[in-house]
Chains A and B, each alone.
Chain A
């Protein structure tokens, strides 16, 4: 069983829609990482959070430590948001990260 589960696996949205991607984990963590990967591209860091909520432009990430759950929201989605979004957790022991399998988002104009 994977320590990190993401849902949905695939998501198609119309431009302008509000999007939510979910991440659940089963281990104790020190921080959670949201990453973005464009087709053929490298992976970039969107957020790193340990509690509460962070916002950057149209992106919002929240985490509930007690429920072991995080969400990534995209407001007013745009075709350039089309990418794979990956959730990763850093365990509270050691230096390793554990990754979800990613959510593939397609935003249609």
Chain B
């Protein structure tokens, strides 16, 4: 069965800290995505990657960076966490085919104090 695993379910960090959110998929998917989900705004794309070492900015990349050194792992980095980055972060993966569905991790609820 398809599995996308996010390293933490809940995370509390202080303003200014560097934060790493890890995501691993076991389906050999080329595409991986990081979204944040906020009430009333839906899911917004932060970054995505369509291959190892390849990345593209999404709609809200400011304050974030990503790393994809291996096909199965896609990391989201908050260089200097701020309170407006308090949110639910969701990782997803898919095959490149047009009709390939997204598979989501369970999400990481990050609180920045």
Contacts and interface: CB of A to CB of B under 8 A. Distances in A.
Do the two chains belong together in a single complex? yes
- Which of B42, B44, B45, B58 has most A Cβ within 10 Å? B42
A92 B50 CA distance: 16
Contacts of B102: 33, 35, 43, 45, 88, 97
B42 A31 contact: no
B101 A48 contact: yes
A42 B40 contact: no
Contacts, number: 54
A86 interface: yes
Contacts of B34: none
B74 interface: no
A78 B103 CA distance: 25
A95 B50 contact: yes
B40 A95 contact: no
B48 to A, nearest CB: 7
A33 B101 contact: yes
B71 to A, nearest CB: 15
Contact of A100 (B42, B58, B90, B103): B42
- Which of A30, A33, A97, A100 has most B Cβ within 10 Å? A97
A95 B99 contact: no
Nearest to A101: B42
Contact of A42 (B44, B45, B106): B106
11 contacts: A31-B98, A42-B104, A43-B102, A43-B104, A44-B104, A48-B99, A50-B98, A88-B43, A95-B31, A97-B33, A100-B42
